Amino acid sequence: MSITDQIQKVRSEFSSDLEKLSSDNSVLDKIRIKYLGRKGLVSALFVHMGTVSNEERPKMGQALNALKKDIESEIDAAISSSSDSKNQKLLDVDYTLPGDPINRGSIHPLTLVMEEIKSIFNRLGFSIAYGPEIDSDFYNFEALNIPKHHPARDMQDTFYITDNILLRTHTSDTQIHFMENNNPPVRIIAPGRVYRNEDVSVRSYCLFHQIEGLYVDKKVTFAELKGTLDYFARELFGQNVKTRFRPSYFPFTEPSAEMDVSCIFCKGGGCGICKKTGWLEILGCGMVDPEVYKSVDYDPQKWSGFAFGMGIERMAMLKYGVQDIRLFYSGDVRFLRQF
Amino acid sequence: MKVSLNWLKDYLEITESPDDVSDRLTALGLEASYVSTGKTFTDVVLGYVINCGPHENADKLSVCKIDIGDGNHYTIVCGAPNVKADIYVPIAKVGASLQNGSFKIKQAKLRGVESSGMICSGKELEINDDHSGIMILDTDAKLGTPIEDFLEFNDDVIFELDLTPNRGDCLSHLGVARELAINNNLSIPNRKIDFNESKVTNDSDYKISIKDSEACPRYCARLIKGVKVAASPDWLVQRLKSIGQASINNIVDAANYVLMDTGHPMHTFDFDKVSNHEINVRYAKNGEKFKTLDDKERELKDFHLLICDSEKPIALAGIMGGANSEITSDTTDILIESAYFSPTVVRKGAKSLDLSTEASRRFERDTDINGLIPALNQLSALIVEIAGGEIVEGFIDEYPLKKEPFKIDFSLKNCESLLGLSISNEQIEEIFSSLQITFEKDTNLYKCTIPTFRNDLEREVDLFEEVARVIGYDNIPPAHNFSGSYSSFVQDDQKLDSLLRSHLSSNSFHEHFSNSLQSQKDVEKFSKAEAVIIKNPLSQDMEFVRNSIIPGLLKAADYNAKRQEKGFKLFEIGAVHNQSKKSDTGSKEKFQLGLLWYGKEQSHWRTYEQRDIFSCKGEISNLLVSVGIDSISFKLGDQLGYANAMKVYSGKTQIGTLGSLDLAIIKEYGLKISPLFCEISLQTLREIWINRKINYRAPISYPSVVRDIALQVDNKVSAESLLKTIRVEGGTNLVDIKLFDVYQSDEVGDNNKSLAFSLRFQSESGTLTDSEVDDDVEKVLNSLKETHGTTQR
């Protein structure tokens, strides 16, 4: 077959390919490769140039170049007329069809609250520390000035592994672990899971989460404890909440206090959630008891400080209006999706 | 602890409202709430139903004509089923208030009929719980008489105190009265006892001997002869009832009354049943048996303290009396015990018997050793008053171990610097005297003597708290500056967790928190490591601390599947534990990340998400790379509880397992569809993460060249091995490899597959020529052929 015939053959094959195709750019790309690619039909013809006579060569060259140019321009024309390259009007399609589903997951409400509290104390320069969930009686009780056979043990029903090893009942154990391994000054918060041997109900569960705080430095005062925790409460619940402190009892703090915030639901007027008192109990706190310093070899004459602890579940229940504590551990995606 | 306002008024003149009293107690650290008992309404009078007919617009309502004796007839609409003509009823007049003001009765139009007042039920008047109908009264009182004039109401306010364990002194009306007197310019409360010893001399000798003075430092007793055991007088029944105590008989009630009044627990013995009239205080022998007055036989240990007569135990000291010496209707002579027992001994004893009584609660929290005799005298006087008999002259006071009041040196300067508040000497002295603390001033110190009812005040710091408490925590101004040193910083190795959470939650995973207390079944399925066992579990399904993150997620999957959720993804980050002899706590704590894929996402008009092991592989790689962990690979392996498992690696370190779980196990958890599961060791991941590095390279400015290669190869050859060869042989210019097609058909033969790779070449030193790239590709193809027997298609 002569080159001219071959050129003609390629031309007609190209025309029929072009007619068959849908207006799809990827198909056009394939056609471009088939004809104009490095190993394409047109390139193959150029290779044949070597076999033609010197006289014919310029003519052939012209013809081939014309073929290449025609194919190029026709492909370009096809591309520009294809749907992808037009300003398609949304009116032409049903734009009410739903968009692609990108499903969102969720971070657990307890994590959300924990992170929020952590970030407030991070701003105040508190670092994060952790304690073990299975701990000894010493760290959970003895070192915190709660001797065996002390009625304060009744405040926390405990799961025991052995007589001396238990599931920690509060994150206060972390105070001791941390102070044992670090010299003062100390400024930490310690989030974590704690356990209580209590029947499961709407208001209580056999485990929950706490955040403990500990600040030990020179000349720390009760007034600073109040200022710090008041700031925290306003950061968490809003600038307008009020706090009140009332005397309480924890063996590892003295003086001990309970901090309430003005009810965030009724603004202090009295409602069902605050049991008509206008106040919500938020956290326990106090000045670190000298006995605690003794058990970690800190000099109580030199250092003073405060500690506090709060339940995350309670905060989350208040913040989101969750009535049943068990929902937090159900894994119910209808619940989780809302956070 | 329940406290009656009327009772408190025996000690103090209280004019404040219950709200104010309750607030003041709370501010002092005795968290209080209250309920009003007695009459809670105003303007409710006796009325007579003259006639009663149906309401024309409502089936369930009646329209009544009422006479309340003032010459007018009132129309009242009533919804009660038992309303009828010719009955006497309580009428709340217009303007009446019910339930302490929660309801006000107004003139109203009910379904078109004017109603002037309300006929009340027992519940509406808070007289009883009956709300089935209105109260029908049987009385000959005049119409219009306020109903409180012929029905009895015991007006009182009952405070419920939530006491902290250090305040045993407030487990009594006297104790609470002392607190209320603080800062209130009230005289210090004390009960006056009208007490007369008879001239009856002690003809029936009784003896007391204490074997262990640490356990029982003091024991006092009195004898009363000729009492008559009977019902208690009304006032006593009423007082006890108001704080929720049932009446038994006059002797028991009297002891109970003085207990609730002074806080001191005493015990009454039937004197005739005390053999040889001897009291011995001693420890029990191991295994000794004793029947307490609740008729339970209890086996004792050598730390249980007993009150015995010459032959047998007659009471568990400080906890409960014995059945063998209890007061009965035949009792005439009574021996009253007023003793001080060691708090630790009582607590240990009560705890081991799981027996907590009004007495043991108080002894555990420590009692007033100087309160024994006043309480003894008060009880003796009361018994004689209500049960007759005569107090035998004299009493016994065995006091082998004298307890001195606490002495504390108090420095005002130290107090000020702890509280962050300046306090004057006058203020401090006033505070001390309101707490009945006596003191001597010694240059910079107050040498204080603490009253014996305040056993919780042992150290200087305890007094600092008392000072703050009396001043009022709310009167200490908060500091508005935060002054801390910057030398306290700790690395947070769990920061990675937040990154994982944030990535997973944006990729449609929901975070789950599961119960980490699990059943035997749960801890046997997925880990060979022995789980930690709880000695006193809540129930059998919570006997173990979890050793794997999987069961909690499976239970959540089951929970959701049963609630018509067809497709979801869950994750949990948490600690798992197993036994370990090496550690002090006999256990090892590890953190795990668990991922669970269940079912399919909802189908959609454009896309249909395919979920299989490959989509999960992709998600895990994406998760890990996004938090900065690379060189991820997967290798087949075995794992307990899995039907198919792949180990996940970062470089050479194994970080987790991905796969599908054993179908038999899936069924046990109630699931019909097998979820895919991945568990990752957070400990390992955190270590890699802490050391992660970003190796930055400048983007190459020369163009790249792409070559596609299609290979036919035996089915057994893994894609990973081909990729590895390509990567190694492709040379430094090979910057990217993509596997873009995997294909099996008759064309390639039963034992073969076809894989297509796209190779991108690029050089930092210049534009690559065709022949340079051709050489690289050729090298790759040759090596693939040699090593894996591929043919090019």
Query: Using the beta-carbon criterion (under 8 Å), do A333 and B348 form an inter-chain contact?
Result: no
Query: Using the beta-carbon criterion (under 8 Å), do A108 and B511 form an inter-chain contact?
Result: yes
Place of tokens 């070597």: A50
Q: Are strands B334-340 and B734-743 parallel, antiparallel or unpaired?
A: unpaired
Q: Which member of B28, B560, B586 has the closest CB to residue A333? A: B560
Q: Taking a C-beta distance cutoff of 8 angstroms, is the pair B577, B531 a contact?
A: yes
Contact B581/A at CB under 8 A: no
Buried b (16+ CB within 10 A) or exposed e, B228-257: ebeebeeebbebbebbebebebbbbbbbbb
pLDDT in tens, B411-446: 999 999 999 999 999 999 999 999 999 999 988 899
Query: Using the beta-carbon criterion (under 8 Å), do A331 and B555 form an inter-chain contact?
Result: yes
pLDDT exceeds 60 at position B488:
no
Sign of CA dihedral B518, B519, B521, B524: positive
What are the structure tokens assigned to B576, written together? 């798992």
**Shortest Cα–Cα distance, A55 to chain B (Å):** 31
Query: Using the beta-carbon criterion (under 8 Å), do A127 and B535 form an inter-chain contact?
Result: no
Distance CA B460, CA B409 (A): 6
Q: Locate the DSSP E strands across B548-609.
A: 567-579, 587-599
Q: Lowest-confidence range among A311-315, B10-14, B510-514?
A: B10-14
**Shortest Cα–Cα distance, A135 to chain B (Å):** 6
pLDDT classification of B748: cutoffs 50, 70, 90? confident
pLDDT exceeds 80 at position B52:
yes
Interface of A with B in 222-251 (CB under 8 A): 222-224, 226-228, 230-231, 244-249
Pick among B160, B511, B598 to test the A interface (most A CBs inside 10 A):
B511
- β-sheet with B676-681: strand ranges across: B509-511, B567-579, B587-599, B676-681, B653-661, B642-650, B632-637
- Predicted local confidence at residue A208, as pLDDT: 96
Q: Which residues, at least 6 apart from A40, have a Cβ–Cβ distance to it below 8 Å?
A: A33, A34
How many helices (H) and strands (E) in chain A? 11, 9
Query: Using the beta-carbon criterion (under 8 Å), do A151 and B364 form an inter-chain contact?
Result: yes
Query: Using the beta-carbon criterion (under 8 Å), do B574 and A193 form an inter-chain contact?
Result: yes
Query: Using the beta-carbon criterion (under 8 Å), do B513 and A328 form an inter-chain contact?
Result: yes
**Shortest Cα–Cα distance, B161 to chain A (Å):** 13
CA B12 to chain centre: 35
pLDDT classification of B464: cutoffs 50, 70, 90? very high
Instruction: Residue B146: name the closest of B269, B44, B50 by CA.
Output: B44
Section B388-397 average pLDDT:
90
Query: Using the beta-carbon criterion (under 8 Å), do B476 and A226 form an inter-chain contact?
Result: yes
Encoded amino acid at B692, one letter: R
**Shortest Cα–Cα distance, B608 to chain A (Å):** 10
Select A109-336's CATH number: 3.30.930.10, 3.30.1340.30, 3.40.50.20, 3.40.50.300: 3.30.930.10
Section B101-127 average pLDDT:
88
Distance CA B518, CA B531 (A): 10
Distance CA B629, CA B692 (A): 7
Q: Which member of B474, B484, B568 has the closest CB to residue A187? A: B484
Tally C-beta pairs within 8 A across A and B: 260
Please, what is the Cα angle at B661 between B656 and B667, to 5 degrees? Answer: 150
Pick among A33, A100, A149 to test the B interface (most B CBs inside 10 A):
A149
Find the DSSP H helices in B511-670: 520-525, 550-561, 613-626, 663-668
DSSP 3-state of B301: coil
pLDDT exceeds 80 at position B185:
no
Distance CA B97, CA B103 (A): 6
- For chain A, domain boundaries: 3-92, 109-336
ipTM over 0.90: no
**Shortest Cα–Cα distance, A21 to chain B (Å):** 23
**Shortest Cα–Cα distance, B291 to chain A (Å):** 24
Contact B262/A at CB under 8 A: no
- Predicted local confidence at residue B204, as pLDDT: 65
What are the structure tokens assigned to B365, written together? 């929290």
Query: Using the beta-carbon criterion (under 8 Å), do A249 and B165 form an inter-chain contact?
Result: yes
Contact A43/B at CB under 8 A: no
- Predicted local confidence at residue A284, as pLDDT: 96
**Shortest Cα–Cα distance, A160 to chain B (Å):** 5
CA A141 to chain centre: 34
pLDDT classification of B192: cutoffs 50, 70, 90? confident
Interface of A with B in 57-76 (CB under 8 A): none
- Predicted local confidence at residue B115, as pLDDT: 92
Contact B72/A at CB under 8 A: no
Buried b (16+ CB within 10 A) or exposed e, A305-327: bbbbbbbbbbbbbbeeebeebeb
Contact A327/B at CB under 8 A: no
Q: Mean pLDDT score of chain B, rounded to an integer? A: 91
Q: Taking a C-beta distance cutoff of 8 angstroms, is the pair B754, B742 a contact?
A: yes
Q: Which member of A101, A255, A336 has the closest CB to residue B511? A: A336
pLDDT in tens, B124-166: 887 777 788 899 988 888 999 998 888 877 789 999 999 999 9
Query: Using the beta-carbon criterion (under 8 Å), do A161 and B587 form an inter-chain contact?
Result: yes
Q: Taking a C-beta distance cutoff of 8 angstroms, is the pair B27, B474 a contact?
A: yes
Interface of A with B in 187-226 (CB under 8 A): 187-188, 193, 195, 197-200, 206-207, 215, 217, 219, 221-224, 226
- Predicted local confidence at residue B602, as pLDDT: 66
Q: Which residue has the higher pLDDT, B155 or B275?
A: B275
Distance CA A118, CA A130 (A): 13
A 10 A CB-CB count for B734 gives: 20
pLDDT in tens, A298-335: 999 999 999 999 999 999 999 898 999 999 999 999 99
Pick among A107, A195, A211 to test the B interface (most B CBs inside 10 A):
A107
- Predicted local confidence at residue A83, as pLDDT: 59
Which residues on chain A are in Cβ contact (under 8 Å) with B33? 275, 277
pLDDT classification of B480: cutoffs 50, 70, 90? confident
H or E segment at B741?
strand B734-743
DSSP string, A285-337: EEEEPHHHHHHTT--TTT-EEEEEEEEHHHHHHHHHT---GGGGGT--HHHHT
Going along chain B from its start, the domains and CATH numbers come out as 2-38+156-181 (3.30.56.10), 42-149 (2.40.50.140), 207-398 (3.50.40.10), 407-475 (3.30.56.10), 495-690 (3.30.930.10), 705-792 (3.30.70.380)
Contact B706/A at CB under 8 A: no
Quick check: bond before A109 cis, omega within 30?
Answer: no
Section B706-721 average pLDDT:
90
Q: Which member of B418, B556, B577 has the closest CB to residue A304? A: B418
- Predicted local confidence at residue B205, as pLDDT: 80
DSSP 3-state of B587: strand
- Predicted local confidence at residue B202, as pLDDT: 61
Query: Using the beta-carbon criterion (under 8 Å), do A100 and B545 form an inter-chain contact?
Result: no
A 10 A CB-CB count for B262 gives: 22
pLDDT exceeds 90 at position B59:
no
Residues of chain A with pLDDT under 50: none
Distance CA A163, CA A146 (A): 15
Nearest CA in chain B to A136: B585
Query: Using the beta-carbon criterion (under 8 Å), do A246 and B31 form an inter-chain contact?
Result: yes
Interface of B with A in 456-495 (CB under 8 A): 459, 461-462, 464-465, 468-469, 473-474, 476-490, 492, 494
Distance CA B169, CA B493 (A): 47
Query: Using the beta-carbon criterion (under 8 Å), do B482 and A334 form an inter-chain contact?
Result: no
